[in-house]
């Protein structure tokens, strides 16, 4: 297992380098520039100084290498300095947002708790709902419960989040008045009253995203369970006199989780990326909202950094999913 992990980590280095180059070039060469918002009345020499202040006057390759060094060395060194009081990043230039002139990772650190709280909770709720539905739907195939689970999945698949979120707002916030329509990012949980208010304002975005996540994962779980329940080892386990509970939950479920783990693991980076539509719909000041704001303002460093963070997380959680295979299925050996 250790050899496989090290091999995959080494393979991830050129993969991430290629991805970083593609992301940097796509964003950098795309139409739009922060200089386009400067009035034409600004003198050319002042305009040139503004471009130089942003570092946009340097060649593309130079800016790419500088950004790569800042991402992999300066920012981790700055984080290490803040933890242990060292001076590794002293005098180094961090990745700065063209829009706010603040360090990009500082902005991400401010927005990330909101995203993890709302989007992470929604993903967790979706997984916890989807797995039991998928398991029992497969065990009771074509039953009333299975038909209901299929209807639930089809609704979650076909209804976009902007429609379901708006519908939830109309029903539960406007008509019934149970939950607020907007998420208050300034709310601090200090007692039970504020904790309950936090639960109330999280309810609608969690319901919106949880429906979509649970629909997809439940279908994968059901399909994988049905594939394994027809295997020879299941008939053998039943012939040995094992209880149905043991056969389903110990043998079938463990093998059925292998493809589902991939789906769940590759969905985790979306938590850090935020749900752009849902965050804007409910006013959650998270990573998704920051990405939309950066795109509108042509804030290239912010867009490039966020996109590359998503790519790193996808590669990382893909590796984690492969490692989990070895624990779920004893037949899989990497060394």
User: Per-residue pLDDT tens for 198-248?
Assistant: 899 899 999 988 888 898 899 999 999 999 888 888 888 888 888 888 888
Q: Of 319, 75, 110, 285, which is closest to residue 185 (Cα–Cα)?
A: 285
Domain CATH for 136: 1.10.3720.10
- Give CA–CA dist 334/6, Å, rounded: 11
% residues pLDDT > 90 (the chain): 13
Q: Among 68, 94, 120, which residue terminates a domain?
A: 94
CB-side exposure of 91: number of CA atoms within 13 Å? 1
Same domain? 201 vs 81:
no
Residue at 192 is within a domain: yes
Counting every residue, how long is the chain? 335
pLDDT digits (tens, 9 = 90+) for 240-287: 888 888 888 888 888 888 888 888 888 888 777 657 788 888 888 888
Same domain? 123 vs 82:
no
Mean pLDDT along residues 45-68: 75
Report pLDDT for 259: 84
In this structure, the number of other CB atoms found within 10 A of the CB of residue 304 comes to 24
Average pLDDT, the chain: 84
Same domain? 80 vs 181:
no
Residue at 275 is within a domain: yes
Report pLDDT for 332: 64
Same domain? 85 vs 141:
no
pTM: 0.81
Asked if residue 210 lies in contact with residue 129, where contact means CB atoms within 8 angstroms, the answer is yes
Q: Of 7-16, 65-74, 273-282, 284-293, where does mean pLDDT reach its minimum?
A: 273-282
Same domain? 43 vs 142:
no
- Give CA–CA dist 115/289, Å, rounded: 10
Q: For residue 43, what are the domain limits?
A: 31-94
pLDDT digits (tens, 9 = 90+) for 151-172: 988 888 888 888 888 899 999 9
Report pLDDT for 19: 92
């Amino acid at each position: 297992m250790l050899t496989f992990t090290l091999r995959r980590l080494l393979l991830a280095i050129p993969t991430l380098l290629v991805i970083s180059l593609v992301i940097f070039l796509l964003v950098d060469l795309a139409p739009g520039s922060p200089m386009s918002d400067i009035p034409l009345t600004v003198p050319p020499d002042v305009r040139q100084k503004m471009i130089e202040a942003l570092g946009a006057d340097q060649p593309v390759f130079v800016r790419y290498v500088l950004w790569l060094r800042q991402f992999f060395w300066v920012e981790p060194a700055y984080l290490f300095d803040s933890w242990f009081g060292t001076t590794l990043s002293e005098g180094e230039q961090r990745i700065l947002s063209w829009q706010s002139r603040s360090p990009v990772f500082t902005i991400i650190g401010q927005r990330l708790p909101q995203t993890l709280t709302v989007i992470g909770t929604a993903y967790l709720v979706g997984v916890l709902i989807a797995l039991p539905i998928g398991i029992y739907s497969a065990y009771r195939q074509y039953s009333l419960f299975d038909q209901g689970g299929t209807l639930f999945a089809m609704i979650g698949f076909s209804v976009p989040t902007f429609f379901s979120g708006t519908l939830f707002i109309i029903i539960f916030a406007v008509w019934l008045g149970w939950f607020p329509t907007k998420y208050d990012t300034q709310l601090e949980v200090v007692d039970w009253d504020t904790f309950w208010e936090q639960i109330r304002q999280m309810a609608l975005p969690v319901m919106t995203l949880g429906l979509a996540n649970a629909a997809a994962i439940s279908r994968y779980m059901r399909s994988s369970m049905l594939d394994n329940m027809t295997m020879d080892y299941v008939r053998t386990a039943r012939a040995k006199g094992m209880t149905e509970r043991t056969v389903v939950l110990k043998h079938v479920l463990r093998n059925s989780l292998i493809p589902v783990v991939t789906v769940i693991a590759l969905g985790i980076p979306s938590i850090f990326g935020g749900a752009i539509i849902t965050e804007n719909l409910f006013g959650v000041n998270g990573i998704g909202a920051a990405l939309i704001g950066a795109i509108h303002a042509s804030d290239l460093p912010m867009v490039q950094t966020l996109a590359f963070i998503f790519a790193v997380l996808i590669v990382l959680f893909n590796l984690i999913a492969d490692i989990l295979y070895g624990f779920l299925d004893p037949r899989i050996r990497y060394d």
